[in-house]
Amino acid sequence: MAEPDEEMPEPDGEAAPPKSRLLPFILAMVGLTVVAAAAGGAFGLVLGGGEAPKAHEEVASAVQHAGPELAPIKALPAIVTNLAAPEHTWVRIEAAAVFDNTPAPEADALAAKIAEDLVAYLRTVPLAQVEGGSGFQNLREDLNERARARSNGRVRELIIEAFVIE
């Protein structure tokens, strides 16, 4: 028979974990949680740093100083046209042009002319030419070149906001 001072095993055959091992584990987990929370808070302060409102104020003041007489970015009318092949494939492009110090009335007229030119160009493009990422990138570069040529270099870039093929 077993001596009365010895610990008896549990009836299901498993020994209970000693309490002396459980306490350091719990303390370590609580300590790691506190360290992780402090590190996350510090990281948030470094990234946020209160600079977003400053950047917003700088952009707002730059727009005010640009004046209403200049139109640095002008939305083009929505372009909807069919592609060259296949016959019943339609494309819709919403884009904006970034101008170099062009007065607003001239920018409006140029935007309309650029949109007309892009429609004429898109009617010559087959669907196979614009498929995939590289095809879209090539189309974007071609549209940028046409916009620059049509505006005599006044357009710095054409920003494609939406591109849908049906």
- Higher-scoring residue by pLDDT: 46, 10: 46
Please choose, from the candidates 133, 161, 158, 162, the residue with its C-alpha nearest in 3D space to the C-alpha of residue 146.
Answer: 158
> Would you say residue 17 has pLDDT above 70?
no
CATH superfamily of 73-165: Band 7 domain (3.30.479.30)
Q: How far apart are CA 93 and CA 113, in angstroms?
A: 15
* 143 contacts 88 by C-beta, under 8 angstroms: no
Q: Which two tokens stand for residue 9?
A: 């095993």
Query: According to the model, what pLDDT value does residue 14 have?
Result: 59
Give kind and range of the element (H or E) at residue 110: helix 104-122
Q: How far apart are CA 46 and CA 44, in angstroms?
A: 5
- pTM for the model stands at 0.56
Please choose, from the candidates 116, 130, 137, the residue with its C-alpha nearest in 3D space to the C-alpha of residue 84.
Answer: 130
Query: According to the model, what pLDDT value does residue 64 have?
Result: 55
Q: What is the mean pLDDT of the chain?
A: 81
Give kind and range of the element (H or E) at residue 165: strand 155-165
At 80, give phi and psi (nearest 5°): -130, 120
Confidence grade of residue 80 (pLDDT, cut at 50, 70, 90): very high
> Would you say residue 26 has pLDDT above 80?
yes
Query: According to the model, what pLDDT value does residue 63 have?
Result: 52
- Higher-scoring residue by pLDDT: 99, 51: 99
- Higher-scoring residue by pLDDT: 44, 85: 85
CA dihedral 108, 112, 114, 120 (to 10 degrees): 180
